Amino acid sequence: LTPDNLKRITETDDLDKRLDMMAAYLMVSLEDKYTLLAAETLRRRLEAMLGILVKEAQLAELEIRINDQVKKQMDQSQKEYYLREKIKAISEELGEGEDRAADVQEYKERINASKMPDDVREKAIKETNRLARTTTMSPEYGVSRSYLDWLLDIPWGVYTEDQLDIKACEAVLEEDHYGLEKVKERILEFLAVRNLKKDAKGTIICLVGPPGVGKTSLARSIARSLNKNFVRLSLGGVRDEAEIRGHRRTYVGAMPGRIVRGLVDAKSANPVFLFDEIDKLTSDFRGDPASALLEVLDPEQNNSFSDNFIEVPVDLSKVMFITTANSVHTIPEPLLDRMEIIELSSYTEDEKVQIALRYLVPKQIAENGLTPEQLFISTNTLQD
C-alpha cells in the first residue's frame, strides 16, 4: 500500500468500503477477491481479509530474508574481490607479480618443448594455471614449483640409441673383466635375444655371488656395451615403501621415489637400472618395498608405474633392469619368479693374479702418478 492509498482507506468509517478498497489496492489474486466478495457477513469478510494480510506478510518477510541473503553474498564477494585486488597490488609493488609471471611463462615453455604424453601435459598445464593464481608468499607456491620441476625433469620420450653389435658388446665385457666365461656367454645370449626382438618383454637378470666378484662392474659393462646410461640403486636396508613410490605432496619436504629420481639422474627413459643387493630388502610398519618393486620389475605392469608424488603414470617398459644379490634364499618369492639367476663363483688364485696384473696394478700405478717403467710387480710377488 502506498501512503496515498492508505490515507484514502483510513478516511472512511465504513468497514465494508474499507475492505473493498484494500482488496482493490492490494496485489490480491482473483480467487481471494471472489472469496472476499462472496462472504455473507462482515465478520467473514474480515476473517478473509485477515488471511490475505497474513499471507502477504509472510511473503514480504520471505522476500526481505532473501534480499538480505543476496546482499550478504554480494558483500562477501565484493570483500573477497577487494582483498584479492589488494594482495595483487601489494605483490606487484614488491615485484612478486613479475616473478610469478616469469615462472609461469618458463614452465609453459618447458611443457610445450617436452615430449610428455597428453595426459601428463594436461596435468602439468593444470598445475601451472594453479601456480599463476597462487601468491609467492603462500607455502603452496613452493609445493607447486617443486612438483613442476620434478615432473619436467623426467626424461619423457628421451631415448639413447642402443649399440646392437654383439661382437662389440663382447669386446667390452672382455676388456673390463677377466674370466667369467660362462657368465659372459649367458649375458651375450640375453643381449642377442633383445637384439633379435627389440619389443620383447624379457626376464630380469639377477647376478648372484659373494661380495667382490664383480657383479656391479658387470652391470656397468653391460650398460657401456649397449651405449645406455647407467643408474645404480642400493636396496640394502631399505624398509620404507615410500623409498620406491615416493611421498604424497601433502607431506613437508615430499619428493618422488628412487625410481623416478633414478630416471631423472639417467636423463633418458631407457637406461640400465641396477638394483644392488636386492636380497637385503626388509619390511616394517612403513610398508613392504618388495611389493612396490613387483610393479617395477613386472613387464606386464611397469609401462604405467605409479609414483605417489608424480601422480601420473611413468613408463618403465624401456628400462633394462639388472639386480644383484649375495644369496637367493632371502629374495621374496614373487620377485625371484620374475628374474633369471646368473651365478658368479669366487675367483681361483690364478684368476686373482691375472686380475691384479691386468687391472689392479695398472690402476694403482696411474692413480699414484707413476709409469709402468717406474714400477714393476712380478707374478711371483703377487702370488706370495
C-alpha count within 13 angstroms, C-beta hemisphere, residue 368: 11
- Cβ atoms of residues 151 and 168 within 8 Å: no
Nearest to 70 by CA among 62, 58, 60: 62
pLDDT at 99 over 70: no
**pTM to 2 decimals?**
0.66
pLDDT of residue 356: 74
The C-alpha cell 611443457 sits at 111
pLDDT at 95: 56
pLDDT for residue 320: 87
pLDDT digits (tens, 9 = 90+) for 169-180: 888 888 877 777
What would the mean pLDDT of 300-328 be, rounded to a whole number?
87
Q: Is the pLDDT of residue 143 over 70?
A: yes
Structure confidence at residue 154 (pLDDT) = 92
Computed from CA positions of residues 87, 89, 94, 95, in that sequence, does the dihedral angle turn out positive or negative?
Answer: positive
Per DSSP bridges, beta strands 230-234 and 305-306 are unpaired
50-57 own/partner pairs: CB under 8 Å, 24+ apart? 52/23, 52/26, 52/28, 56/26, 56/27
Q: How far apart are CA 303 and CA 318, in angstroms?
A: 8
Per residue in 185-235, pLDDT tens? 888 887 787 777 766 565 688 888 888 778 888 888 888 888 889 999 888
Q: Are strands 230-234 and 313-314 parallel, antiparallel or unpaired?
A: unpaired
Distance CA 381, CA 384 (A): 5
Average pLDDT, the chain: 80
pLDDT attached to residue 162: 80
Query: Crossing angle of helices 30-38/15-25, nearest 10°?
Result: 170
- Rounded Cα distance, 213 and 330, in Å: 19
pLDDT in the model for residue 231? 92
Who wins on pLDDT, 159 or 379?
A: 159
User: Which amino acid is present at 223?
Assistant: A
Do the beta carbons of residue 264 and residue 153 sit within 8 Å?
Answer: yes
Query: Which carries the bigger pLDDT value, residue 156 or residue 27?
Result: 156
pLDDT band at 264 (very low <50, low <70, confident <90, very high): very high
* Contact predicate 303/169, CB 8 Å: no
Distance between CA atoms of residues 152 and 63, nearest Å = 55
Taking only Cα atoms into account, the Rg of the chain, rounded to an integer number of angstroms, comes to 40
Q: Is the pLDDT of residue 285 over 70?
A: no
Give the DSSP H/E element, type plus range, for residue 208. strand 204-208
**Residue pointed to by grid coordinates 641396477:** 274
And the C-alpha cell for 97?
Answer: 607479480
Which residues have C-beta within 8 Å of that of residue 73, sequence separation ≥ 6? Answer: none
